[in-house]
Amino acid sequence: MQEALVLKVELLKSLRQQRFLSQEDLFNACQQRSLRVSLATIKRAETGKKVSYRTVRELSTFYAVPALSLVLLGSTDSGQL
């Protein structure tokens, strides 16, 4: 079973806005880099809904930050991180 994580909403929005990207721009930029992140997933992540670890990894790659820096601690399904 794949872990689902909640990300740090304000940090995600800040990282995106620092690059002057809309959510759709971020989606397009991810597509150009062959990162598998849908527009719906970006919206889910930025509204505090759970996303897959793969999504965390893809966003951390795009933003060039450690994956764990994006994760709201204690947000895994099992409560462990």
DSSP letters, 43-78, are HHHHTT--EEHHHHHHHHHHHTS-HHHHB-TT-STT
Burial class (CB in 10 A: 0-12, 13-18, 19+), 68: exposed
Can you give the pLDDT at residue 76? Answer: 59
pLDDT attached to residue 3: 77
Question: Which comes out higher in pLDDT, residue 74 or 13?
Answer: 13
Confidence (pTM)? 0.87
Q: What is the C-alpha separation between 19 and 65, in angstroms, rounded?
A: 14
Question: Domains of the chain (ranges plus CATH)?
Answer: 4-70 (1.10.260.40)
- The pLDDT tens digits for 31-71 are 999 999 999 999 999 999 999 999 999 999 999 999 999 99
Q: Which two three-digit tokens encode residue 28?
A: 């397009």
Q: Which pLDDT band, with edges at 50, 70 and 90, does 77 fall under?
A: low
